[in-house]
Structure 1
């Protein structure tokens, strides 16, 4: 029987803190191709960190930069991307307001601000972009977007540009402090104070984000931009997968490989790994996972219907995992 000429769609997310989505996809793809199986490399993201790189690589465009402020108000050089001949800009919240911008012993969630993200949005508007995609994830903040709103208003507003916030969670506004505050160093008392702050901010905004799905993304930044500027809120994973035309590419593949740094229950809650695995199951296409750490319980694994879950944390391990996978396809 002749070999199956169809490729394997290799569509991992980044292994956060260690490897980019493109690095993971490349290593798995090399393993598959070394074993004689063609690979369609499709690095993905869920609207959080890494979204800019994934979309810029797939769609083409250019990067731009400006001076902005980090979560604690220190001036930094920060970047954003322009695609579609400059008609659309991509701003990652993590670029100026991300947790990696603040050393562990400096983290102060009560003082941390999204002002720098607002500066990046304003700089993107200055280039003439009609749409600004805001990848909301990985922030060091729970300020409800108050800093970003202030920066945008100080720069003269959006001037006709439209905001689309790509959300990596469905958390509503009022749950952002309890859900994300502890991850960013908030004590139980500080969580309660942050909840009080968001309630007050919600009352002062043109409309209250409380109860609206996805408004809690990036510590409430999504809700602040939704309320203050009418930003559209989109599930980030679905947006990225649709933009990359993964459904068409999946139907042309013999199998799909997903991946992320840690596979666990949260993978079923809006993350791109769970979204793509679900699409593969619905299309009747075998789906395999190569991950840094497998913490998924058997019940959740059955929900995703993953054929194989392989742990591989380094580039060499990922390549070997790709070779091993080729042998069973």
Structure 2
């Protein structure tokens, strides 16, 4: 029997990457294929799932100070995975409408990292994305300053921060503030705060965050971690390395990937573009399933838009069913090839 690799990203607002991978696997069974499920992420929301899911929960302050039970992961190899959105996420604040963009705090993320260190983590992977905060990570620094630097030297813990943006520290409010509910006046206020913190971090830690791409991720939380000695790395590459994605693609007879919306950014350090590149490099046929495909995007010939193929009612009401049907159809055609 042929084997298909199910390597999708999440369908934001509709389905998690593990749910999509399971739907692809169900399609494989219906089409007479074996399957391997490998849910992926690009360093933002969903990264915890890509590393195997949570096996710990710690109660920490949410973005507005209300306690939240935040899941995270601790591996037998001493590698911990923390997803900042689970502690300091915009969804936890009730979206942009419910958020306090000036008062929102990243402290919960810092406390999750501290919990991982207390359990003996030697490497901590922190994913950024989906945050409610623009506090420049100062509240996280307050929690973790005594534990750093996180550079892995001389027996100290190492921290890798997965981020999928290149925004620098002082631009965080301008770029991301409005989507977190900040008014134009608040963007100005937050930018002033970030400038002051950049000066503080430069004096205290000797780092110029204007020279650090990605330091503006999660409202400056990326820069705060960089000040504490962490390395900021492209999220998809980190996930791909951990999951041995290249080996999995090479071993498959076909690959199915996908995400909620296929657009130009899908090919800029994101899951779909990365999987496509690997599949092409290894000569493995690949299907891309997306909730929608943006007009004028140079999508691969095998890309399927659920919205166009099944209509808005089915695409939004039963995305997993649509994914399964589209994948089954393609695998049957692929399986019929000599």
Residues 181-229 of structure 1: per-residue CA shift (max 9 Å, x gap): 11111222322222222121111102121132222222221111101x1
| TM-score normalised by the chain length of structure 1 | 0.89
Contact 2:170-2:198 at 8 Å conserved across structures: no
Pair 1:36 & 2:32 matched:
yes
1:217 and 1:322 map into 2 onto residues whose CA distance is: 35
Pair 1:308 & 2:300 matched:
no
| TM-score normalised by the chain length of structure 2 | 0.87
1:28 positional shift: 1.6
1:318 and 1:151 map into 2 onto residues whose CA distance is: 43
Gaps of 5+ in 2: 150-155, 307-314
1:265 positional shift: 1.9
1:179 and 1:242 map into 2 onto residues whose CA distance is: 29
Q: Which residue of 1 aligns with 2:180?
A: 184
Residues 226-272 of structure 1: per-residue CA shift (max 9 Å, x gap): 01x11011111111111111111111222221111121122123222
Pair 1:103 & 2:99 matched:
no
The structure in which a higher percent of residues are helix is 2
1:63 positional shift: 1.8
1:252 and 1:122 map into 2 onto residues whose CA distance is: 39
Other structure's SS at 1:285 match: coil
Instruction: Note the 1:203-222 alignment, pairs <5 A.
Output: 203-205=199-201, 206=205, 207-222=207-222
Residues 284-309 of structure 1: per-residue CA shift (max 9 Å, x gap): 333221112222523x32xxx45222
Pair 1:175 & 2:171 matched:
yes
Pair 1:134 & 2:126 matched:
yes
Other structure's SS at 1:31 match: helix
2:277 and 2:98 map into 1 onto residues whose CA distance is: 39
**What's the RMSD between the two structures over aligned residues?**
1.9
Residues paired across the two proteins, number: 313
Gaps of 5+ in 1: none
Q: Runs in 1 of length 4+ with deviation above 4 angstroms?
A: none
1:141 positional shift: 1.1
Q: Which residue of 2 aligns with 1:239?
A: 238
Pair 1:6 & 2:37 matched:
no
Pair 1:25 & 2:21 matched:
yes
Pair 1:324 & 2:329 matched:
yes
